Amino acid sequence: MSKLSDMNRETKLTIVSAVMFAVGFLIPNPTVKFIDFFIAYLIVGLPVIKLAFLNLKNGQLFDEHFLMSIATIGAFFVGEYPEAAAVMLFYQIGELFQDKAVDDSRKSIKELMDIAPTFANLKTENGYKTVDPYDVSVGDIIMIKPGEKVPLDCIVVDGESMIDMKALTGESVPVSVKKGEALLSGSIVMDKSLVAKVTKDFENSAVTKILDLVENASNLKSKQEKFITRFARVYTPVVVVAAVLLAIFMPIILHQPFKMWIYRALTFLVISCPCAFVISIPLSFFSGIGASSKAGILVKGSNYIEMLAQIDTIVMDKTGTLTKGEFKVVEVNPKGISKEELLEYVSIAESSSNHPIANSILSYYDKSDFNKLESSENISGSGIKAIVDGKEVLAGNEKLLAGIDFEKSSSNDTLVYVAIDKVYRGYIRISDEIKQDSKAAIENMKKLGINDIYMLTGDNEKTAKDVAEKLSIPNYKAKLLPQDKVEFVKNLIDSGRKVLFVGDGINDAPVLALSDVGVSMGQIGSDAAIEASDVVIMTDELTKISQAIKISNKTLRIAKQNAIFAIVVKIVVLVLSAFGITTMWAAIFADVGVTVLAILNSFRAMKY
């Protein structure tokens, strides 16, 4: 009883109709048989007929509901009422299969939508108060208790706990966080309470951006989906016209009974319904998006699923993408001044910058009097020019010190050369560690047959070469300004390449937007990069790129299989029915049967 009560109304009506349909074949009395089949038909067919005439009022003449209604009503008039009932019954069964497939395809996305937090424990003068996440501001202190979702992006200020980030990143293994580490909204605190300081308001938090991406993912259609829509608009009217010609002219030309040719024409109408490819193709892409999101890869539209499968060139930024972007000062080499003086001048000059290199210097030396900073200017792709305590300080790469005599280091690490009042005063050597999965990611790309792989960086030639050799990247470009990266990628695209670009910084946003597919890192990536990209990797793992390409390849194969299968079967049955070789039962298979098989095939895209 409980299983029956869990069924929706459509399923129950379909079961009743199916039982009556089966019983109809056992009834010997022709009148009772007709009544039984007619009731079975109305149970599942009446909603379709109502919708057909409603759409007809809105100018939708050749939709599937109208075609089904005309074909089945006509079948009753020519005495083929078992076929009429069968068409509507199996059409409804096909619809139930479609609904089930769509629900299953949405499952991972529905789970993702459940990550949205509904409250936050905000610290007030009178203790903690439960409020709406929208009412929390940047800088506020919140508490997240075990089992609760992190409501906003924040930094832990007290406590240590295990965090479940599966819904956000697809990573099933919990991670540990402690004081000073970042928390993404939507993750779940597992064992101990955490006190955290909010870094982004709710509208700009990770969870809100993810949900926006997922909700809008189906709006951007692939070329296949657009083609199928255009095809259906032409194909269906052509078949309807052919059916009318069959019913009216063929009996006259061949001097044959009208009833026979009307039956063939009705069979034509049943076959002409474009359900199989109109439903299954978008469902294939939707399933591919679902499979990607389940793996922590957010794809912003079906068109990018399609484009991922066409990629032949991959271009990557170095810092924060191939490397951790966590710079550490490993050497201070002063020239003519003390180590303390060099660090003080540079740290004050860099204090107005939020660049990872600046942060590493400020973390290494925090004893400076920042009131000495009189002015500062960020020289894009070169470094910082500042006035500190009345003196001009240049801190950056070789280009920034053009015209000043200085000693170049042979180190492959990142070097910050320093000049004070046009006099060279030494350098600070900074190291950036390569990510653990970077080498495996490059190997996986090559296994997919993508050998045109480039690394772009603003770092010096030695640093770039060192990283490229360690990761077996065949091509690299060093000393690039943001505009140089844009120009480089534009040249690749103009030469006919299908380019995927991976980056994470604000200065990567123009390149991400320009590329055929722009991929950003969801955890460490800037808001601008995530906004400009087409695909967001929530785990920041480069190996996810090859995984995304594999999912897209599989999705495209399934979509093509569905389209070819549906079109071939329909054309074959159309031709056979025109010559009277097949019956309406074959038409039912050509429409509903093919639709169900295509839907089940589409569902494979979810299984990665």
Least confident of 191-195, 331-335, 477-481: 477-481
The pLDDT score that the predictor gives to residue 4 is 42
Same domain, 502 and 439: yes
pLDDT of 386 over the 90 cut: yes
DSSP label at residue 323: B
Which one from 63, 140, 153, 317 is the annotated catalytic residue?
A: 317
Assess if residue 466 is contained within a domain: yes
pTM of the model: 0.64
The pLDDT score that the predictor gives to residue 141 is 94
Residue 454 main-chain phi, psi, to 5 deg = -125, 145
**Can you tell me the mean pLDDT for 426-434?**
87
Query: Do residues 37 and 68 make contact, with C-beta atoms less than 8 angstroms apart?
Result: no
Same domain, 461 and 524: yes
Assess if residue 224 is contained within a domain: no
Boundaries of domain holding 544 = 294-324+435-553
Q: Which of 431, 461, 487 is the last residue of a domain?
A: 431
317 is a catalytic site residue: yes
Least confident of 50-59, 92-101, 505-514: 92-101
Assess if residue 178 is contained within a domain: no
List, in order, residues 6 or more apart from 1 with CB less than 8 Å away: none
List, in order, residues 6 or more apart from 244 with CB less than 8 Å away: 265
Q: Which of 400, 431, 462 is the last residue of a domain?
A: 431
How confident is the model over 15-45, as pLDDT tens digits? Answer: 898 899 889 888 989 899 889 989 998 998 8
pLDDT of 355 over the 90 cut: no
Percent of residues, the chain, with pLDDT higher than 70: 84
Between strands 194-198 and 154-158, the pairing is antiparallel
Give residue 280's identity as a one-letter amino acid code: S
Number of separate domains in the chain: 2
Same domain, 304 and 427: no
Assess if residue 536 is contained within a domain: yes
pLDDT of 332 over the 80 cut: yes
Same domain, 426 and 510: no
Least confident of 81-85, 103-107, 423-427: 103-107
**Can you tell me the mean pLDDT for 199-218?**
68
Same domain, 374 and 298: no
Same domain, 443 and 517: yes
445 pLDDT band, cuts 50/70/90, is very high
Q: Which of 431, 454, 489 is the last residue of a domain?
A: 431
Query: Do residues 160 and 199 make contact, with C-beta atoms less than 8 angstroms apart?
Result: no
The pLDDT score that the predictor gives to residue 196 is 95
Assess if residue 520 is contained within a domain: yes
The pLDDT score that the predictor gives to residue 495 is 94
**Can you tell me the mean pLDDT for 332-343?**
93
217 pLDDT band, cuts 50/70/90, is very low
Percent of residues, the chain, with pLDDT higher than 90: 25
The pLDDT score that the predictor gives to residue 157 is 94
C-alpha separations of 567 from 26, 96, 270, 573, 581 in Å: 36, 22, 14, 10, 19
Residue 516's domain is classified under what CATH number?
A: 3.40.50.1000
What rounded mean pLDDT belongs to the chain? 81
pLDDT of 209 over the 90 cut: no
How confident is the model over 562-608, as pLDDT tens digits? Answer: 888 888 887 887 788 777 777 777 777 777 777 778 878 877 877 76
The pLDDT score that the predictor gives to residue 525 is 52
Highest mean pLDDT among 147-151, 406-410, 421-425: 421-425
Same domain, 488 and 539: yes
How confident is the model over 227-240, as pLDDT tens digits? Answer: 656 666 676 677 77
Same domain, 373 and 359: yes
Same domain, 442 and 423: no
Residue 337's domain is classified under what CATH number?
A: 3.40.1110.10
**Can you tell me the mean pLDDT for 307-330?**
86
Q: What's the token pair of residue 542?
A: 């480069």
The pLDDT score that the predictor gives to residue 599 is 78
Same domain, 458 and 533: yes
Assess if residue 254 is contained within a domain: no
Assess if residue 547 is contained within a domain: yes
Assess if residue 36 is contained within a domain: no
Same domain, 529 and 441: yes
Same domain, 354 and 367: yes
